[in-house]
Amino acid sequence: MTDSDFSGSGLPAPLTDPVSVTWQSPSNIAFVKYWGKTGRQLPVNPSLSMTLSKAYTETKLTAFPHKEEGAAELEFWFEGKQNEAFGERTGRFLQSVSDIFPWLGQVKLKLETHNTFPHSAGIASSASAFSALALCLCSLDAELCGILLDEMEFRFKASYVARLGSGSACRSLFPGLTVWGRTRSLPGSTDLLAIPVTEVHPVFKSLRDTILIVNNKEKAVSSTEGHNRMINHPFAEARIKQAEKNTSGLLEALKNGDKDTFIQIVENEALTLHALMMTANKGFMLMYPETVRIISRIQELRKETGLEICFTLDAGPNIHLIYFEDQIEQVNKLIVEDLLKNNKQSARIDDHYGLGPVKLG
């Protein structure tokens, strides 16, 4: 597979009437973290994530006839209001994919989008937003230019396009567990797009993720800047080896239903991500004291209760508490009576293993 497999064509005939498509696409949480990129949004190491279910973006994209050809023209509506900042980022993205969708310069676009979860709540909104937009672009491509792809080819193309908007977004296109980035341990894996993990023990289909919100302010250092700080990082080489080893170990654990190894790797990856931030040449810290308190408590509670709970972290202070469906009641009690008991915000979002994007129209 190469970039040229995805280049497209212009409109076969000028558009006469508006054409709309709508997709709902979820966010995802990485168990092996993508941290550091190169080239045209390519990862320096493989990553493995779980597609979520309730945290999703719904996007409607409408193409209108446009008299003059030129740069893509876009009107951006976020949660019912026009949003210039998001419009500008999306405009730059559309410009960057004009080789894949040359018809973008021949139409006017209106994008209407909303999320089911609050912005900056520790859920990667760029993953759901760019995967939903990529799906809409691929659907419009099919309708406007008659591009016919089977279901998997369509998802792979959308994953390729989503990656160019936000790396982690390329993993949201499939149900359940997904790998992005070439790894020896998964045939067919590639840096260009994500592929689904098919050998998954049923126990891992009951995974749950409750996000414990410590702080929902805008992050001091963005993911884009964080990726940049992996360039010439003193531990870059060791990190790439470790991610390969953790991906391989996790794939094996997922296949065999090995929960202990799963827990060990997931926590190792979360702590490594934040250790890489702290040890970068311009080091920074996104964890709060409350983050450290809660993750330490999760480890203690695992020992004390024997419950199969663990944590992961994204590039932010909020904690993803990972557990299994059959322990939902006991874990809920721990969240209310212990983990969030003295937390001023006391906010949480309950999510779980998801089934992937849905076309709404």
User: What residues make contact with ligand PMV under the rule CB under 6 A?
Assistant: 30, 33-35, 47, 124, 126, 166-168, 223, 273, 314-315
What is the DSSP-derived secondary structure letter of residue 34?
-
Closest CB to ligand PMV among 44 and 63? 44
Q: Are 143 and 101 in contact (CB under 8 A)?
A: no
Closest CB to ligand PMV among 107 and 212? 212
Least distance to ligand PMV, CB of residue 168, Å? 3
* Residue that the structure tokens 């210039």 belong to: 84
CA–CA gap between residue 12 and residue 251 (Å, rounded): 44
CA–CA gap between residue 94 and residue 101 (Å, rounded): 9
Which residues have CB under 8 Å from 131's CB, separation 6+? 25, 26, 57, 158, 159, 162, 169, 170, 172, 173, 357
Q: Are 51 and 205 in contact (CB under 8 A)?
A: no
Closest CB to ligand PMV among 60 and 239? 239
Least distance to ligand PMV, CB of residue 224, Å? 6
Least distance to ligand PMV, CB of residue 304, Å? 30
CA–CA gap between residue 245 and residue 268 (Å, rounded): 12
Write the CA distances from 254 to 159, 178, 186, 263, integer angstroms.
22, 11, 13, 11
**Neighbour tally for 84: CB within 10 Å:** 10
Closest CB to ligand PMV among 144 and 179? 179
Ramachandran bin of 146, using left for φ above 0, alpha for ψ from -120 to 50, beta for the remaining angles = left
Phi, psi of 116 (to 5 degrees): -90, 5
Could you please report the per-residue DSSP string of 172-241? GGSSSEEEES--TTSTT--SSSEEE-----GGGGGEEEEEEES--SPPSS-HHHHHHTTTT-TTHHHHHH
CA–CA gap between residue 55 and residue 208 (Å, rounded): 13
Q: Are 50 and 31 in contact (CB under 8 A)?
A: yes
Closest CB to ligand PMV among 33 and 155? 33
Least distance to ligand PMV, CB of residue 170, Å? 9
Least distance to ligand PMV, CB of residue 142, Å? 26
Least distance to ligand PMV, CB of residue 46, Å? 10
Least distance to ligand PMV, CB of residue 296, Å? 21
Q: Are 341 and 290 in contact (CB under 8 A)?
A: no
Closest CB to ligand PMV among 223 and 318? 223
Closest CB to ligand PMV among 59 and 125? 125
What is the DSSP-derived secondary structure letter of residue 52?
E
Closest CB to ligand PMV among 8 and 226? 226
Least distance to ligand PMV, CB of residue 350, Å? 20
Least distance to ligand PMV, CB of residue 358, Å? 22
Closest CB to ligand PMV among 74 and 194? 194
